[in-house]
Amino acid sequence: MSQESQGATATLTVVSVEKVQKVRLIGLAVVEVEIDGIPTLMQGFKIMRLPYGGLSCELPCFRHPDGRWLPAVVLTEELTKALADEVLALFAAACVVDYLLTRSGRASIKIA
Average pLDDT along the chain: 83
93 has a pLDDT exceeding 80: yes
Backbone phi and psi for residue 27, each to the nearest 5 degrees, phi listed first = -165, 160
What does the alpha-carbon distance between residue 38 and residue 11 come to, in Å, rounded to a whole number?
10
Four-residue CA torsion sign, 88, 83, 42, 23:
negative
25 has a pLDDT exceeding 90: yes
14 has a pLDDT exceeding 80: yes
Whats the size of the chain, residue-wise?
A: 112
97 has a pLDDT exceeding 50: yes
63 has a pLDDT exceeding 50: yes
The Cα angle at residue 84 between residues 52 and 73, in degrees rounded to 5: 115
Confidence of residue 15 (pLDDT cuts 50, 70, 90): very high
